Structure 1
């Protein structure tokens, strides 16, 4: 998994400044180690940056996703982000719908489909499994 310093180094290597706000955003993802909505990130930052706009936050999240500092996913009608796993090993995730924690899934369902793709060149795909981790399931407070 990418860490705070690797993320800041990537920003700098790609020609972007790393400001206190950007550093704080990466720090939040690093500490939380789960998928977070923009609202959750904004709430975490408001204490230190009370005038932070939603537009600035989304611009930075978009930049971070483009630079592969964070990974994004759509879930329950909302875009959510987590620190990028890093590395080049192809994998997918099991995602807890309650706490947002993830676990890598090293099997790929595309392997079964690859032989059935006549006249089509696959350039990418995304596969995620949603459910509840054992910790959340045992708490008995699951909303879904």
Structure 2
């Protein structure tokens, strides 16, 4: 997702523009990986020394609710990334070392639906975890 589109989504939903929100989103746009709220805070603390973890976390949750960010839980902690630019159904490989993600264009749900039989599936989440090529070195 492009930064301009994310900011427009905020505006369309009635949320005001702030430079901190823009910089927070810019941080995600520049990284193709899942990031913890603490990492965002650390990245912005130099410029905004009074910025609190609660403010970061509230904004990240808002961005996730508006589907600007995607979220997942890794090792008991929420991680966020900018929403993929494509609306095509896909899943992700996530490097557990650096948080890098790669799109997976396959989905196991047809097989799962067949195996489960007559159930009504309302949603699913499929992620593959490991180490990317750089982190294996």
**TM-score tier (shorter):** over 0.9
Q: Does 1:58 align with 2:57?
A: yes
TM-score normalized by the length of structure 1: 0.90
How many residues align? The count is: 137
Residue correspondence of structure 1 range 38-49 to structure 2 within 5 A:
38-49=37-48
Q: Which position in structure 2 is the counterpart of 1:70?
A: 69
Q: Does 1:133 align with 2:132?
A: yes
Structure 1 stretches (4+) deviating beyond 2 angstroms? Answer: 115-120
1:49-95 Cα offsets, whole Å, 9 max, x none, are: 11111111111011100111110011111110000103321100011
Distance in 1, matches of 2:15 and 2:43, equals: 23
**Unmatched 5+ stretches in structure 1:** 139-144
Distance in 2, matches of 1:54 and 1:35, equals: 17
Residue correspondence of structure 1 range 15-54 to structure 2 within 5 A:
15-54=14-53
Distance in 2, matches of 1:63 and 1:104, equals: 24
Give the CA deviation at 1:119. Answer: 4.6
TM-score normalized by the length of structure 2: 0.94
Distance in 1, matches of 2:13 and 2:52, equals: 24
